[in-house]
Structure 1
């Protein structure tokens, strides 16, 4: 059943959220933040608002056309208000341990070989999780006040007030999304 409102929010680099919102990718790669429960990334909610973060974006881990778009910020910086322009339904979670498979997925995401290598080497006993997100633009971008509890190295937060998801529009058509998902699943299962 589709939600009509939510407070559940997935934090991700702003550059990645921009790519999701513009249909340039449907994929996020995760292993977990420093403050994740049990030290590993787990999907807490299937339908989530997308919350952009800026502090830890690293151009050296992005493909050149995305790296050039990163606006560096100082450690501890946060905006006074946070732009929430989209939400996503996490449709697939694909655990991958093999670098060759992750490399075969390179054309489907925004990160470069350095990112893949670093993520696979960090906690090598844990798989890299490939998340496929069906992204929807909210009917109107929302600006929410930043709160200190939204900060820190954690993937999941609940914002103070629920946001309306009704009348959101998918970034990609059903057939375009399904086609990309099928291609990624075929590579992940090879």
Structure 2
């Protein structure tokens, strides 16, 4: 059975995790790309062996677990290394997410992907939901939440897709500058909208228009 897929995205520190959690509380299946990315490199997964073969056994700890810091040092040294990393991980992440979507039980599913707009998954979703806050709020949250310096926060934001670019692709927008109750209300309203859309959805592959 094909489900209506709602792509959830937003800039760093915008509140994507909070929003996906609120949908989950309403009984909506959530497939989170960040969670999947961690699972595909767990001990025993084929991708871990491929990474060790490509970047060296020293990216593994003595217990055979991925040393993420070590991998970052090696994989982001140049464009070729990063592309090699992506060639190993991206197909497996995509495959895992597709399996989770296929197994999801509900009228629709939330696919949470930080780089939805920048990546190649836009055609996989039927609606794009953007969690939005001004960049000044992102900057403030990065400093308070992660202990980033103002310069680090600025560099992180500069490396991301622009807020304007995300909003241009949005079918629905959640303004997350208000309090938690306002956020709850917005999610509940969207939930009703998505239930109605799911009831009309014919189950065909590809992204719906709109």
TM-score normalised over the length of structure 1? 0.26
Structure ID, larger Rg: 2
TM-score normalised over the length of structure 2? 0.24
* Greater percentage in helix: 2
